[in-house]
Every structure is written in C-alpha cells, then in structure tokens.
Structure 1
Amino acid sequence: MSKLNEEVVADVTPRIRRTHLALFVKDPFASAPWYEEVLGMKVTARGERWVFLSFGKKHHDIALIQVDEPEHATRGTINLQHYGLEIEGDLEDLRRLYGMLLRKNVEVVKTTDHKVGYGLYFHDPDGHRFEFFLETVHDDEEGKRLLGDYNAPSNNFDLKPL
C-alpha cells in the first residue's frame, strides 16, 4: 500500500446515521410486551430466539435476543450502564413519564440533573438500565462546556411524578 493510501485509510472515521441496541434477555417473548407498554414500541419482527422492536421510524431500534442457557443467566458487574432515550416535550412530560413508570411498577433507579438536562433512570424486566432524558441545553457547544465545567454531573434531582 502506498503512503498516500495509508494516510487516507488512517483518516477514515465513521459517520453514524442512527443506532440500534441489541440486548441479551432471558425470554424475548416475555420481555417484548414491557417494551411495548412502557416505551411505546411496536414489535416489527420475531425469530426463534429474538424480537425486534421499533419506535416507529425504522424497522428496529431495539433487538431482544435470548441468551444461551437462560436458566443460568445472571447480570454481571460489567454490563451496559444505561441506554438513554431523549424525550420530546418539557419537564411536565418527564414528570408524566415518571408517574407512568410508577403506575406500571417499573423499578425507578434515580432522577438526576446533568446541567444539560434531566434524567429519569429505570430498569427493564431483565435489569437493563434505561434513561428518559430531557435536554434543556440545545446548543451543543454550550452543552460540551457545561459538561466539562461540572465534570459530567449526575446530581440528585427531586422530580415529582404526575
């Protein structure tokens, strides 16, 4: 390979259009209704050991895949910390979502002030942590500055559920 080609290859970086998440679960068919009821997703495809779900804009956003030997599956200490879902709306909408989680007996982990928005953390039936987050700082450069100035905070925030 020529030096010019090596430089071009070294400079290549991905330009991400969107993301999706694939999670190992004990029983994707038992877990899927939670994703439909709590996150408002729709099942778009099923296989022998998996279920694909969508928020409505693409064929799938989250895949639930049955772990090998589900009867022996345990949650490890090294795992996905959380998957953030930015919501549309305002603080009242976040409060309504908090109330909905409580009414559906979803385990709420914490509510936080990140200085660039507010987070509401909760677990799915298999213990994966999710976050509904509400951005309050919409200028990305200002957001980067605040995260740096405050050391990417996750301060306790008293969010009152509706």
Structure 2
Amino acid sequence: MTSRSTFSVRIQQADFDLSQEIATLRAGNPKVGAVVSFVGTVRDMNDGLDVATMELEHYPGMTEKAIEAILAQAGARWPVAGALVIHRVGPLKPQEQIVLVAVSAAHRGEAFAACEFIIDYLKTEAPFWKKEDTPAGARWVDARVSDEAALSKWSKKAN
C-alpha cells in the first residue's frame, strides 16, 4: 500500500456516475498511471427464469466494515493508490448498475489484480442478500459455485 492510499466504501440506493467516480479516484495523485474498474449490472435472466427486479439488502455497519477489510487486504497485497467500492441496495431493474469496484495504482498490473481480488471477495464475503422477482415468484439468490472457485485462487497466490 502506498503512503497516499485512499479507500472508500459507499452503500447507497442511488445510481452512480462511472466517469465522475473515476475522476474523483484519480484526482490529486500524479503517481497514478492506471485505473481499473468493474461495473456489475442486473441481468434480465438468471437460472433460466426472467428477472423483473432484483432487491438487495444488507446489514448497515457490518457490510461497510466487511468491505473495508477487503480493501485493506488488497492494499496489503498490491501497491495501490486508491480503491473505491460503491454497492447499491434496494430494488433494481435489469440493466441497472449494482456495483462499482475501481482501483488506482502506478501500474496496470497491480490495478487489475487488486480490482479482481476485491470483486471476488465482495461476491463471497460481503453480507448482501439478493432476492429476484420472477414469473415463478420471488426467490432468494444463493452464492454461486463459480464465485467460491474464483475466491479460492487468491489463497494460492503470493505477492
């Protein structure tokens, strides 16, 4: 982690502006040579069923602390200048943005790795609950095996 690292976590109902958030993450740090971002959106179909809406719930306070711990782990592994996670809660429709993970660093390799690490841990370790409204009724979404597999690769890597 560089001496000027800044980490930010926001849980909100409102949408976010990707360009504005990236500009803010880069602002004032001339050592930043790379910014990598991931934006997750609501799909219109999951497990073979149409999804009309997805509702995300969280445990205020606990969720932010869990994500802050993930950012701290990323900062301990890679020399990142900054990292931002914005996660939306409440009802969302297909194509709406759910989550933004953005990482700034001096070089692209660190930024890519840290961003992927953060999203992999976010998908499995952050306390969010998702409910989908489908033609068959409402259903809670379980964690995916592929998310757990993605997470397991980080315990095998050392930096």
TM-score by length of 2: 0.27
Higher helix share: 2
TM-score by length of 1: 0.27
Q: Which has the larger radius of gyration?
A: 1
Whichever structure has more strand as a proportion of its residues is: 2
